[in-house]
Structure 1
Amino acid sequence: MSQSAPPPQQSAQAQQPAQAPQPFPAQQQPAGPPGLPPYAQPGSVPPPVAPPAPPRNNLVLGLIAAVAAALVAAALYGVVIGVTKHEIGWAAVGVGLVIGVAAGKAGGRNPALAITAVVLALGSVYLGQLVGEAMIGAKETGLSFAQVFFDHFDVVQKAWKDEADPLTFVFFGIAGYAAFSGTSKAAR
């Protein structure tokens, strides 16, 4: 019978699992000043912390933005009505939302802006409906839009009164609600 030689003994270092190299041994890592992470170097200055942004509360800027948005929204709403010959609910929502967001983004959380945005949305929907009536009247009479709207404004208003129905006033409410909620959400 032959004896086999015992396997050679591995050294103690070879038997230990390999460890990832560390930049500093655990007992030699710099501690750093209190309140800083443990890897910060002693004597280092922490980065400055920016102060929180001040709340926006610019009433005049909010009013200017809301009036500008109301005029543009009224013109676009009037064009939609003039082209389609119908009042469209989502367009009234858009009118109110555009005015409210403009007021809230530019002016902030001032409560007067929300009320103003509602009033401007109602006026914008009314003006848009008049623009739409004037566009329809211009197509039917062959006159220009400017002649119908500016020279015969009383006829445009009478046509609006004759064609107004309960749904017309629902659109006013929709636009007012969208303006109020848009102002408060945009001011956050």
Structure 2
Amino acid sequence: MSQSAPQPPQPGPVDGNPYAQQAPAGAPDAPGAPAPGAPYAPQPGAFAPPAPPAPGRDNLVLGLVAAVAGTLVAAALYGVVIGLTEHEIGWAAIGVGYVIGAAAGKIGGRNPAIAIVSAVLALGAVYLGQLVGDAMMIADHFHLNFSEVFFDHFDGVQELWKKDADPLTFAFFGIAAFAAFSGARKAAA
């Protein structure tokens, strides 16, 4: 009388895959149980699959607000660089444009108007920055307060800018506008 113990049933192929195991009966969603069709349970410390990309942002108003804020900050910094160095610097104009475009594109999204408005605002930022730099140099030369020169004698600062403007001055406008346009497009992608 040799009776053998009954053998546990062997898991059969799942969807034609002989290596896949079926989920335990009664607890298909138990922790540590393999996902349906997966041959093994997930290993401790395993990484989850990457999440799908975030949907595109398309908020024109927030993008414009970000562009205006970036314009004011970039113009002030550009003016300080010009005032301290007493020179217009090309990489600083690139930075002005890129800051404006990247902020607007990151927040505003892929709306084509964002890139165009960023380029226009970059022109204004470079102009304002050059005026701030000129006012800083005038204030330093005459030992005056910057705010007095910039706000009380703004017309004189503009006249000095017109007198000192050369082709390189206007090249910085183009550089900043291009950097803002391309920065907005890249940040929105």
TM-score (norm 2): 0.77
Partner Cα distance (1:53, 1:138) in 2: 49
Letter in 1 for 2:174: G
Matches of residues 9-158 of structure 1 in structure 2 within 5 Å?
Answer: 28-29=10-11, 31-32=13-14, 38-39=20-21, 41=23, 43-44=28-29, 53-158=54-159
Residue 10 of structure 1 is matched in structure 2 by none
Deviations 1:94-137 (A, max 9, x none): 00000000000000000010010001100000000000000000
Partner Cα distance (2:123, 2:164) in 1: 18
Letter in 1 for 2:80: V
In the TM superposition, what is the alpha-carbon distance from 1:141 to its structure 2 partner?
A: 1.1
Residue 179 of structure 1 is matched in structure 2 by 180
Structure showing greater Rg: 1
Partner Cα distance (1:176, 1:162) in 2: 23
Q: Is the 8 A contact 2:94 2:176 kept in 1?
A: yes
Residue 3 of structure 1 is matched in structure 2 by none
Number of residue pairs matched by the alignment: 161
Letter in 2 for 1:157: Q
In the TM superposition, what is the alpha-carbon distance from 1:53 to its structure 2 partner?
A: 2.6
Partner Cα distance (1:183, 1:87) in 2: 24
Letter in 2 for 1:41: A
Q: Is the 8 A contact 1:32 1:41 kept in 2?
A: no
Q: Is the 8 A contact 2:11 2:22 kept in 1?
A: no
Aligned in 2, Cα 1:144/1:55: closer, same or farther, shift over 3 Å?
A: same
- Once superposed, which parts of structure 1, at least 4 consecutive aligned residues long, lie more than 3 Å away? 27-35, 42-47, 49-52
Aligned in 2, Cα 1:177/1:32: closer, same or farther, shift over 3 Å?
A: same
Aligned residue for 2:158, secondary structure, equals helix
Aligned residue for 2:57, secondary structure, equals coil
What residue ranges of structure 2 are gaps of 5+ in the alignment?
1-8, 30-34, 37-47
Partner Cα distance (1:110, 1:41) in 2: 48
Residue 165 of structure 1 is matched in structure 2 by 166
Percent identity of paired positions between Structure 1 and Structure 2 = 66
In the TM superposition, what is the alpha-carbon distance from 1:34 to its structure 2 partner?
A: 8.2
Letter in 2 for 1:133: D
Cα RMSD (Å) of the superposition? Answer: 2.6
Partner Cα distance (2:22, 2:155) in 1: 77
Aligned in 2, Cα 1:39/1:130: closer, same or farther, shift over 3 Å?
A: farther
TM-score (norm 1): 0.78
Greater displacement, 65-74 / 51-60: 51-60
